[in-house]
Amino acid sequence: MKRICILLLSAWVSGADVPELKSLYQAHYWAELREAVRSQKSPPVYRGIVAAVYGDDRRAESILKGVIRSRPQSDDAYQAYEWLAHIYFRTGQYGRLIANMEARWAAFPKNSELLKERNVMAGFRGLADQTVGKPRRSTLPHEAGEIFIPVTINKIPSTYFFDTGAWVNCMSESEAVRLGLTIHDAGGTLSQAAGAQIGFRTAVAPELTVGDIHFKNVSFAVFPDDQEPWSGLAVGRRGLIGIPIILGLKTLRWSQDGTVEIGAKQRALRDERTNLFFDDDHLAIVGSLGSSRILATLDTGAEGTDLYEGFAKKFAALTEGGKKDITEVRGVGHAENFDSIALDEVKLRIGGGDVVLRPAHVLMKQLGAKCCVGNFGMDLFKQGRAFKIDFGAMRFELER
């Protein structure tokens, strides 16, 4: 499956008057910003941002709320509201998300982005905050080479795929009906893989279980059955669990032996071991090509890997010998063709393992997170005997 749903909140430029930190922030140099705020007395807003980027949500929320309380109408407060929104969005805390945005709109009524933000947020009004019980370790089956795993919704079995590129959970209209869920008109839009804005409706599952981990008030974006990817899937498989649920699993290990292990004990967050981070509304990974460090989005919902214009600029000598091509990028309800360059192969290193992208498609457009040179998909992750994502340590490991 290709990337399904990503909602991008409005970009914001820091107003804190520390040129070095502001420059790192604007460039999305998160590792460098993390080091900078540790080595000097820095504005709290930057410390809150770093905590949010590296998944330390409790600490981030405490710092960012403190920024708002101390200077409620400052540029730093505006930014604090933004990063709280990212946290609430990725954890399915939609009630808190809307309350946070309402507070920002009240504090900054003349901001030029206000109308746009109201339209983006419209689809999430009235949705409850998702909750998750204690993580418990369990092992689930998957079909050979697939990312579909069993889930139970309102005690009805389903088989959905897990998609780290989806910032909302999704299902088809017929699936919502099969599960007895009420579908509501949302009036909002989501950005999908090819960059198009698509409308959606919503449904809320009172109970959802993955293995021995129990969730309540789980919201889904609902789309017509004749759209990608549902049109090619059987009844009971027309859904995906996105980041709001995957984060609640704490850890996830997919293995070639036909199992997915979830809920294992998380390791501690250590700077020297982290290779994952949240860039706005994307899960990104640090990798390398030769001696060069690269950043890419990590997307289990993508069958194949796409490289972007940023890759072509960074590795011009590598791409200049490629062949001109056309590459299709698909998302829910929309597909778009992009001019691209085809390379025979590109050798990368991710999560401690060497992988080969063969062939490699380099799009002549920058999609997704602006700091990333591409979107890494399952064609790379399957080159290991297993891969593991640990959101406590913010680390991806590819087992050879």
CATH of the domain at 158: 2.40.70.10
CATH number, domain of 115, equals: 1.25.40
Closest alpha carbon to 303 in 375, 386, 218 = 375
* 314 part of a folded domain: yes
Is the bond preceding 244 in cis, omega lying within 30 degrees of 0? no
Please give the residue range of the domain that contains residue 150. 131-262
**Distance between CA atoms of residues 163 and 69, nearest Å:** 36
Q: Given a cut of 80, is residue 359 above it in pLDDT?
A: yes
**Measured CA distances, 358 to 120, 128, 313, 315 (Å):** 38, 44, 20, 17
- Do 172 and 223 meet the contact criterion of CB atoms below 8 Å apart? yes
The helix/strand count (H/E) of the chain reads as 12, 23
**Distance between CA atoms of residues 262 and 274, nearest Å:** 19
Domain count, the chain: 3
CA-based max dimension of the chain: 56
Q: What confidence tier does 6 reach under pLDDT thresholds 50, 70, 90? A: very low
Angle CA 332–334–335, to nearest 5: 115
Q: What confidence tier does 371 reach under pLDDT thresholds 50, 70, 90? A: confident
Do 141 and 30 fall into the same domain? no
Do 322 and 371 fall into the same domain? yes
Last residue of a domain, one of 204, 231, 262: 262
* 361 part of a folded domain: yes
Q: What pLDDT score was predicted for residue 1?
A: 41
State the pairing for strand pair 395-399/386-390. antiparallel
Instruction: Tell me the CB-side half-sphere exposure of residue 227, using CA atoms within 13 A.
Output: 21
Q: Given a cut of 60, is residue 10 above it in pLDDT?
A: no
Reduced 3-state DSSP string for 149-183: EEEEECCEEEEEEECCCCCCEEEEHHHHHHCCCCC
Do 136 and 73 fall into the same domain? no
Do 167 and 252 fall into the same domain? yes
Q: What pLDDT score was predicted for residue 58?
A: 96
Tens-digit pLDDT profile for residues 49-101:
999 999 999 999 999 999 999 999 999 999 999 999 999 999 999 999 999 99
- Residue 207 has which token pair? 């109970």
Last residue of a domain, one of 262, 286, 319: 262
- Residue 38 has which token pair? 């540790």
* 268 part of a folded domain: no
Q: What pLDDT score was predicted for residue 205?
A: 98
* 12 part of a folded domain: no
* 44 part of a folded domain: yes
Q: What confidence tier does 40 reach under pLDDT thresholds 50, 70, 90? A: low
Q: Mean pLDDT, to the nearest integer, of 225-251? A: 95
Do 103 and 170 fall into the same domain? no
Do 52 and 80 fall into the same domain? yes
Do 135 and 120 fall into the same domain? no
* 390 part of a folded domain: yes
Last residue of a domain, one of 206, 227, 262: 262
Query: How does DSSP classify residue 128?
Result: P
Do 138 and 118 fall into the same domain? no
Q: What pLDDT score was predicted for residue 227?
A: 85
- Residue 41 has which token pair? 């007395």
- Do 293 and 309 meet the contact criterion of CB atoms below 8 Å apart? no
Q: What pLDDT score was predicted for residue 333?
A: 60
Do 355 and 335 fall into the same domain? yes
Do 114 and 135 fall into the same domain? no
* 14 part of a folded domain: no
Tens-digit pLDDT profile for residues 259-295:
999 999 999 999 889 999 999 899 999 999 999 999 9
Do 44 and 64 fall into the same domain? yes
pTM greater than the 0.85 cutoff:
yes
Do 231 and 333 fall into the same domain? no
Q: Given a cut of 50, is residue 394 above it in pLDDT?
A: yes
Q: Which residues pair with 161 in a beta bridge?
A: 148, 240
* 368 part of a folded domain: yes
**Measured CA distances, 69 to 77, 78, 103, 207, 225 (Å):** 8, 11, 12, 35, 46
